[in-house]
Structure 1
């Protein structure tokens, strides 16, 4: 009988140990009222947010125990009536938080290796973002003051910062194949079109298999599949033809220069219209040196299209099927957002993509042997 009781106690102990597995969130809050409910939100495989647990703040603190994480993913905390959220990676390690009501995004989160890597990645990305913004502001000021040499120097610094930022993302992915942050970094590189899809696929192949079955892993795999085979840096541009505003069919081949920009845009696209003055300036400066541009519009309304061409002084070839996102040229080039640009050499090979602002002029200057303003 004693043996049976002892065995039961051992089994009960094992069962309790199993129930305690998982992870917990222990938080100290600043500025929150006691009694406020905290919600833990997850994103399911259909990319829909779902509340998976909740807790109540008591004496400025709360604690939530959560089940074992089978596949690491991003979760976030929300509070009724409080804007923003607190983002973190769900992992099987205790997580400690200090949460500030007046600035949830400034909350301090300490967890296991996944959260440590994630927040160090965010910190570095924020630093790059601030540096790029500061350089862009300096470039605009120098350009307005016609300080040519200074503007050229700043533009070169901006290009170097962009290069460092993308190299950092690659290093994170290559050095952390067992982390979801690697998948996140590769997804950023692909969405930003900063690295050819084939190169991203090669790096992604080294990622741990369990991450490839995660929500973010499956999403990245779909993006890579959709991008592979599309026209990319290093590939030959596909010739195309479409009607210009006068109804004449114009082809890419007959619009080529020493350097050619294929500019995907639309009259309704505010970022496109904001970028147009920069493109006009680059065209006016380098057209006589061999720069040609052909604009491919995703407009639906011909009058809106032609009016925008006139208003923005876009004095180069323009074509459009007036089919919005169903434009066959945009589909052939894998364009999913605009503005989008492809820079071609004299032989029609893609040598750069999606450069805007100072970066566009720096590249054209480099290719045509002139310093950028």
Structure 2
């Protein structure tokens, strides 16, 4: 009996040792996402890596942290999202040093200096390289804008500067239709640039760019803002109504529909309600409907 217990214990210890070796072997094979060199950081300084999901528009996801030793560190993303590219935020303990950057599907090398993280060198990410090209393109305009604000520059000078900035951004998109950054820039400016310019630039984008998250946002903007006239098919949409239900505009097809958008704290909206009731009573027999959205 004593011998059997000893054998069981030995087998258990052996299995634990094998499992530990497997874990160690797995970690040894795991490639770091970022291999970094940071000048000016003391041994024991800690760096943190966060992913900003949905390409910078979603929630923050803590990825990893690392201790700096001999001005070197490594960071690994053991549960990467399927997004390409992915947007990351690297910072130190008190966030006095930080930098945002894009990573494609390959590891990168990072070279930075304490107190100047935002000018770090990042190699291995094509998307990040294009982001840096774009930043160098527009930075002079932003510097001039800040100078005009500080010196209370005249309105005409500011308008001229913003017009030149727009041309520089458009030129970047036209020269780089296959770059993710072009779609990223277009998506952020479509409401400012308007339908005509946005549509022209969208048509020049590569098929891959049209299908990514930002490309689909641009397409949605174009679809929702296309010019319509009498007899044109409306753009269908769904939204909560005044009674709390969700209604789609197409549910009232083949009727005369008055769309009314209002808010409960809108005084004029409330004062107009009795007139809406009269209007509906007069014309409901002819297929007239009022759809109120809030």
The TM tier, using the shorter chain, reads 0.5 to 0.7
Which 5+ residue runs of structure 1 have no aligned equivalent?
1-15, 141-150, 231-297, 303-319, 324-373
1:107 corresponds to 2:105: no
C-alpha distance in 2, partners of 1:322/1:214? 43
Specify whether residues 90 and 228 from structure 1 end up closer, same or farther in structure 2 by C-alpha distance, changes over 3 A only.
farther
Deviates further, 105-114 or 115-124: 105-114
Match of 1:76 among 82, 89, 95: 89
Distance 1:59 1:206, change over 3 A: same
1:36·1:57 contact (CA, 8 Å) conserved in 2? yes
Counterpart selection for 1:50 from 61, 65, 81 = 61
Q: Is the 8 A contact 1:71 1:211 kept in 2?
A: no
Q: Summarize deviations over 1:313-355 as a string: whole Å, max 9, x none.
A: xxxxxxx7699xxxxxxxxxxxxxxxxxxxxxxxxxxxxxxxx
Equivalence map 1:172-183=2 (5 Å)? 172-183=172-183
Deviation string 1:221-246 (CA, Å, 9 cap, x unpaired) is: 4444444459xxxxxxxxxxxxxxxx
Kindly name which structure, 1 or 2, has the bigger radius of gyration based on alpha carbons: 2
Q: Quick one: higher RCO (CA 8 Å, sep 6+), 1 or 2? A: 1
TM-score (norm 1): 0.46
The 3 A distance-change label for structure 1 pair 188 and 59 is same
Q: Deviations over 1:18-64 (max 9, x none)?
A: x88x8842222234343344333223337112123443322111133
2:71 is aligned with 1:60: yes
TM-score, normalization by structure 2:
0.56
Task: Give the C-alpha shift of residue 200 in structure 1.
Answer: 1.0
Q: Look up the SS of the partner of 1:34 in the other structure.
A: coil
| Structure 2: gaps spanning 5 or more residues | 1-25, 229-262, 272-294
- CA distance in 2: counterparts of 1:225 and 1:160, whole angstroms: 30
SS at match of 1:39: strand
- Report 1:136-285 matches (<5 A): 136-140=149-153, 155-191=155-191, 193=192, 195-228=193-226
Aligned length: 206
Aligned pair in 2 of structure 1 residues 48, 23: CA closer, same or farther (>3 Å)?
A: same
* 1:223 to 1:76, Cα distance in 2 relative to 1, 3 A: farther
